[in-house]
Amino acid sequence: MEKLEKFAAMGLSENILKALEAKGFEEPSQIQEQTIPLLLNGDSDLVGQAQTGTGKTAAFGIPIIERLDEKSKQIGALILTPTRELALQVADEINSLKGDKKLKVLPVYGGQGIELQIKHLKKGGIHIIVGTPGRIIDHLERGTLKLDNLKFMILDEADEMLNMGFIEDVEKILSQTSENRRVLLFSATMPQEIMRIAKNYMKDHKVIKIQKKAVTTDLTEQIYFEVSERDKFEALCRILDLEVDFYGIIFCRTKHDVDTTTTRLIDRGYDAEAIHGDITQMQREKVLTRFKNKKLTILVATDVAARGIDVNNLTHVINYSLPQDPEAYVHRIGRTGRAGREGTAITFVTPDEYRKLMFIKRVAKTDIKKQQVPEINEVIEAKKDRIRNQISDIMEKGISKGCREFARDLLLSGEDQGQNLEDLIASVLQFALDDELEEKSYAQIRQVKSKKNEKTRLFIGLGKKEKINPKKLVDLICSETRIPSKAINDVAVFDKFSFMTVSADDANTIIDAFRRKKGKNHIHIERAKELGK
pLDDT tens for the chain, residues 1 to 533: 556 889 999 999 999 999 988 777 878 888 999 999 999 988 899 999 887 667 889 999 999 999 999 999 899 999 999 887 788 878 988 998 999 999 999 999 887 788 999 999 999 899 999 999 999 999 999 999 999 889 999 999 888 888 778 888 999 999 999 888 999 999 888 888 888 888 889 988 889 998 755 444 456 789 999 999 999 999 999 999 988 889 999 999 888 999 999 999 999 999 999 998 778 878 888 898 899 888 999 999 987 677 657 676 789 999 999 987 777 788 788 777 655 567 899 999 998 888 788 888 877 778 888 898 999 998 889 888 888 988 999 999 999 999 999 989 988 888 888 888 888 888 888 898 888 888 888 888 887 766 656 788 899 989 998 899 999 999 999 888 878 888 898 898 888 889 999 887 788 788 877 876 666 667 888 887 544 33
Using CB atoms within 10 A of its CB, is residue 118 exposed (0-12), middle (13-18) or buried (19+)?
A: middle
Q: Report the chain's terminal Cα–Cα distance, integer Å.
A: 44
CATH code, 455-530: 3.30.70.330
Which residues have a Cβ under 8 Å from the Cβ of 224 and sit 6 or more positions away?
346, 347, 348, 349, 357, 368, 369, 370, 371
Distance CA 275, CA 256 (A): 11
Tell the CATH superfamily of the 220-373 domain.
P-loop containing nucleotide triphosphate hydrolases (3.40.50.300)
User: How many CB atoms are located within 10 Å of the residue 374 CB?
Assistant: 18
Helices 354-363, 504-515: inter-axial angle, 10-degree rounding: 10
Q: What are phi and psi of 311, to 5 degrees?
A: -125, 125
Q: Which amino acid is at 16?
A: I
**String of b and e for 488-514 (b: at least 16 CB within 10 Å)?**
beebebeeebbebbbbbbbbbbbbebb
- Within the chain, all domains assigned CATH 3.40.50.300 are found at 2-209, 220-373
- For residue 177, what is the DSSP state? S
Question: Regarding beta strands 152-155 and 128-131, do their DSSP bridges make them parallel or antiparallel, or are they unpaired?
Answer: unpaired
State pTM to two decimals: 0.55
- Within the chain, all domains assigned CATH 3.30.70.330 are found at 455-530
Tell the CATH superfamily of the 2-209 domain.
P-loop containing nucleotide triphosphate hydrolases (3.40.50.300)
